[in-house]
Amino acid sequence: MFLKETTVKRGKHRYVYVQVVEGYRDEQGRVRQRVVANLGRREKLKASGELDRLAAAFTRLDPPPEGTRQRCGTLALVAVYLERLGLAEAVDRALPTHGRAQLTHGEVICALVANRLCDPRPLYDIRGWADEQGAHPLLGTPAALLNDDRLGRALDALQTVIDEVKGALCLRALERFGCEPKRLHWDFTSVSVYGSHHGSALIRFGHSSDKKAHLRQVKLGQAVSQDGVALYHRAENGARNETGVVCQALEDLKAALGRSDFLLCGDTALISEGNLRALIADRISFLAPLPSSWGYQERYLAELSPERLVPIDYVSERQRKLPAEQRTRYRGAELAWPLELEDGSQVALRALFVHSSEEQAAIRKSRAGSLQRAEEKLERIKRGLGGRYYPDVKAVERKLAQILQGTPGRFIVTEVGATDDGKPTLSYRRDQDTITDAERLDGIYCLITNLGTDHADHAALLAHFKEQEQVERGHRTLKGPLRVRPLFVQNDERIIALLAVCCFALMIYTLIERDARRHYPDGLPALGEGRTGPATARAAFHLLQDTELIHTTTGHSVEPPTPARELYQRLTTP
């Protein structure tokens, strides 16, 4: 049976009817057709929504023939994690379906999240992706219904209940996957957008984490657990100062987790007197590096010295196999840092001054290179004095203002003059005293915390701080494999919802990586190489990219590639 459109003329009018037609052979073996049901006029069916509902019904009731093989790739694994996390259930609970909807909002959001993880496509091509990779049998979502209009309406609806859905997913990740939020890593990043976005309250110019100051942006904050799972996110105005939104973000984070007994690790944007007072009042432990504006460098020079720093017993994971002489050496010393509370009382925080040999070497190498490049430019100026480009003193000074920005301007002293006939002169030298003073602070940074000495020694504090890289890795994953673009949306509501979809995808991605590391502590085959590498979600996705979906009379079965069958079985078994 199939659908057929039949045109009927009545006077000057033409009407198109949709019919269900059955093909058969008559007694002579000739192919014939007969009308089984007349569904009605096409324009009326389309206006009432019946046409889409009929299409959905036929799609759900018409599986592929038995034995059909379809390449589904990593969608088979992603579908299992979406079901375990209960994403569709969480969205549908917040957005119950009314009427005879063909798809729930939860089903649509699940399809969008799966697409971000498996093969990011624009909104208009989500339907093609779903048809190619078997979204109907794996997600229960017919590809024919994933048109861009339906996807847009799901994003509009999601934006109204994002906080409720975020909280539900956070609790489910804790309960169903056993994530431990004893330590959370918090950080903001910027997501650049293209287009003018006139009148937007969300899209603004601001400080760009990606050094793309020429583009408008959205600020996105994320909280990642100690085992690398992205549990919470928050979208903010692109021009908003990150320090100023920490308190509100923490209130939302506490509500989502249902607890406040965790250690919050952040970067310098976490540090302000107001934020620290709020954290102490809420009994939240914190750890973050002090910004230089707090004067920790002056205090180090006044109260400490290299001789007073003692070794810290910390070795990063990537350096454990190196000989001891090639490892980064850490030394530190602790001072009390007073902070006045709102009631006028004072509390003494712990300030750990850390010296890193690796950071010291990197800073000195960078400084030397910067000074060398600046001196080469100054030599070119000297050779051209009095010529076409530097005919007078003003021209030389304009060029020097460009060259001596940043580091060179601090450490190079220049003198500009002119001869009796007006030809400009230039001399320069390195300010060795200033360089010596700067070298005393090379490799020094300060960590501040309210953790007691009985909860964390110097080595533990440094280890917690070094794990801040986990949230930064989440930012890279969000902008890399998951790709916020190429989804083209314009209004603020859909942009916020799209970011939420990408962050839900990141949660699934990090849960898969957490389980892969737990099952394969010694690593998985590296991508395209004959050796073993870390068990990452990317490596797991690479191994499962040729997974096939086999349609049977009773449903479907999944057939991973031979090298990945054990991996698939372990990851899909709770």
Rounded CA-CA distance 330/358 in Å is: 9
Kindly state the average pLDDT of the residues 147-176: 91
Instruction: Please answer whether residues 508 and 82 qualify as being in contact, where contact means their C-beta atoms are separated by less than 8 angstroms.
Output: yes
In this prediction, residue 105 carries a pLDDT of 93
Is residue 153 within 8 A of residue 160, CB to CB? The reply is no
Mind listing the pLDDT tens digit for each residue in 249-304? 888 888 888 888 899 999 998 999 999 998 998 889 999 999 999 999 999 999 99
Q: Is the pLDDT of residue 560 over 60?
A: yes
183-193 sheet: strands from edge to edge: 230-237, 216-225, 183-193, 263-265, 285-289, 444-449, 346-356, 330-340, 310-311
Amino acid 53: pLDDT: 66
pLDDT, residue 371, reads 96
Residue 61 confidence (pLDDT):
58
95-104, 201-210, 235-244, 402-411: least confident range = 95-104
Which segment of 20-24, 55-59, 216-220, 513-517 scores lowest on mean pLDDT? 55-59
Confidence of residue 203 (pLDDT cuts 50, 70, 90): confident
Q: Give DSSP secondary structure letters for 480-504.
A: TTS-STT----SHHHHHHHHHHHHH
Higher pLDDT, 62 or 106: 106
Which pTM value belongs to this model? 0.86
Q: Which residue has the tokens 């979809």?
A: 501
* pLDDT given at position 524: 87
**Residues 38-71: tens digit of each pLDDT:** 888 888 877 766 666 666 666 655 667 777 888 9
Percentage of residues in the chain having pLDDT higher than 70 = 94
Q: What is the mean pLDDT of the chain?
A: 89
Element (H, E) at 546: none
Q: Are 543 and 533 a contacting pair, CB within 8 Å? A: no
CA dist list (Å): 374 to 284, 413, 434: 47, 12, 17
d(C-alpha 242, C-alpha 248), whole Å: 11
CA–CA separation, 51 and 246 (whole Å): 49
Q: Which residues contact 458 (CB under 8 A, 6 or more apart)?
A: 312, 332, 334, 352
When pLDDT is averaged across residues 187-214 and rounded to a whole number, the result is 85
The interaxial angle of helices 148-159 and 162-177, nearest 10 deg, is 90
pLDDT given for residue 20 in this prediction: 83
Residue 349 sits at the vertex; the CA angle it makes with 255 and 301, to the nearest 5 degrees, is 135
Q: Which of 156-165, 327-336, 460-469, 518-527 has the lowest mean pLDDT?
A: 518-527
Region of poorest pLDDT, from 54-63, 143-152, 515-524: 54-63
How far apart are alpha carbons 511 and 173 in whole angstroms?
8
Query: 33 has which bridge partners?
Result: 23
